[in-house]
Copies of this chain bind each other. A is one copy, B any other.
Amino acid sequence: MVAIAVEETALSADRLKGEVARTTFQILLLASAASRGEHLDARIDHASPQWQAGIPRPDLRRVSQPIGPVLVFAASNFPFAFSVAGGDTASALAAGCPVIVKTHPGHPRLSSEVADLVREALLGAGAPDGVFETIAGLDAGIAALRNDSIGAAAFTGSFRAGRALFDIAQSRRVPIPFYGELGSVNPVFVLPDAAKSHADEIVRGLVSSFTASAGQLCTKPGAVVVPEGSEVMRMLRQVELPTGLVLLNPAITDGFRRRLAQILSQDGVQVLAGLPAGDHDAPAAVILRVSASDLADRDWISEECFGPVTVIVEYEDARQLVSIADAFDGQLAVGVYGTDSDRGIAQDILPRLRARAGRLVWNSWPTGVSVTSAQQHGGPYPSSTSLVTSVGTSALARFVRPVAYQDFPAWLLPPELDEENSLGIERRVDGTVTPRHEALGKESKERKR
């Protein structure tokens, strides 16, 4: 499958092998979260004769249930991890929802191979036939999104396509949640002392981060805010950058060249290192530069350029950083490079950065999104169309809906809400959270050994 993916996407075999491992890992992690009931938010409030200003409280129990069939729009740039068997599919299935994947036209043979594998695995595990299907083509995707039986949709891709699909989902007779991960610039702020004391680490890290996968990552640092005349600036002018890069497909190559030309036509934008893509048959990585004062009142910096480019925003004075932060829209991630000596300015800008980010990264780069319980991959609009995450165990909760049971007899309650907690899941009982039953939680015991 990696060989097919190399052919269809031009991504490297090493990168794709790592992506397969990540895809398997996230399926297993989501399975484990589902089995401890993390997404169910099960709650039990026992009946109480005196509750609300002397009025009795009935027995109330609540648990989330699958939202219904989920439509997944596969991404181009992660043919395994955000495609047919990617995080959206895995979290919807783990939450108990049937899945229809609208495959990405960039890797049709791989999509078909992976789909066969998923179907086989589901049948082998006893899932009913039809729990998983794929469709191809934008028209089919839109028709499915408009279909009454679809309960939610998930999407990873461009701002333009994402917003158009969001609008369709919200204007249905019955609107449905549309979990879109759209574009992002992911600016990184290099504070004055870090630019002095960690210049080498910063320059090497930046080049590696913005050129990884030829810059085709939604968390690529597309803007880096650097002090004027710093060691970082001096070193950036001298870096060598990769050339002859092959992007995912001709449409993405064209889009990259077009957007790069737009940025180069902005007042004050110069080439700092590398060769602008338009000069070659295949794109080359390029670092552009603009001064913070040339950026005032301009909004082009907030629009993503998908591909191997980053823009250095040079500032004269750390007091400019607050207004530079305000120039950015909602972002998947925002980075800060700082030291203890940068404490004052770090504390000043943090509230501005937090207001526009899903994830804040300290002394590292936004690429490389770890799949964990605390992960948040999803930021304020326009980086996402919802407030939730598509990576990490919280991704499960996108595909369920809570239902409360009032005064139900034991024989009619779902097992998640029985008195003895026979499933051993996490629950909130009379207001207090209780972890998974150790007695029943085989997995957690095994992990401790």
B374 touches A62 (CB 8 A): yes
0/1 string, A375-399, CB within 8 A of B gives 1: 1100011100101110001100000
Interface positions of A from 350 to 382, Cβ below 8 Å from B: 350, 354, 357-364, 370-376, 380-382
Q: How far is the CA of A61 from the CA of B362 in the complex (A)?
A: 12
**A404: nearest residue on chain B (CB-CB)?**
B376
Cβ of A433 under 8 Å from chain B = yes
Q: Does A238 reach chain B (CB closer than 8 Å)?
A: no
A157 close to chain B: CB less than 8 A: no
One digit per residue, 1 when the CB lies within 8 angstroms of any chain B CB and 0 when it does not, for chain A 408-449 equals: 110110000000000000101011111110000000100000
Q: Considering only CB atoms and an 8 Å cut-off, how many residues of chain A contact the other chain?
A: 81
Q: Which residues of the other chain, B, contact A409 by a CB distance below 8 angstroms?
A: 340, 362
Q: Shortest distance in angstroms between A225's beta carbon and chain B's nearest beta carbon?
A: 17
With A53-B24, A354-B65: A412-B364 Cβ-Cβ less than 8 Å: no
Q: Which of A136-144, A166-174, A199-207, A244-252 contacts B (4 or more CB under 8 A)?
A: A166-174
A180-218 with Cβ < 8 A to chain B:
none
Q: What chain B residues lie within 8 Å of A370 (beta carbons)?
A: 51-52, 55, 57-58, 60, 406
Q: Does A319 contact B (CB under 8 A)?
A: no
Also in contact, A376 and B403, with CB within 8 A (given A51-B370, A170-B170): yes
Q: Is the CB of A364 within 8 A of B407?
A: yes
Give A32's nearest chain B residue, CB to CB: B431
Q: Which residues of B contact A65 (CB under 8 A)?
A: 354
User: Which A9-25 residues sit within 8 Å CB-CB of chain B?
Assistant: 18, 21-22, 24-25
How many whole Å from A397's CB to the nearest CB in chain B? 9
A21 to chain B: which residues have CB within 8 Å? 52-54
- One digit per residue, 1 when the CB lies within 8 angstroms of any chain B CB and 0 when it does not, for chain A 49-75 equals 001111101101110010100000000
Q: Is A265 an interface residue (CB 8 A)?
A: no
Q: Does A108 contact B (CB under 8 A)?
A: no
Contacts of A67 in B (CB 8 A): 387
Q: Which residue of B lies closest to A385 (CB)?
A: B175
Is the pair B358, A403 in contact by a Cβ cutoff of 8 Å?
yes
Does any Cβ of B come within 8 Å of A343's Cβ? yes
Q: Is the CB of A408 within 8 A of B362?
A: yes
Chosen A-B contacts, 18 in total, with CB atoms closer than 8 Å, are A18-B55, A22-B52, A41-B394, A45-B372, A45-B373, A58-B370, A60-B375, A62-B376, A340-B411, A357-B403, A360-B405, A363-B407, A387-B401, A389-B402, A432-B436, A432-B444, A433-B435, A434-B435
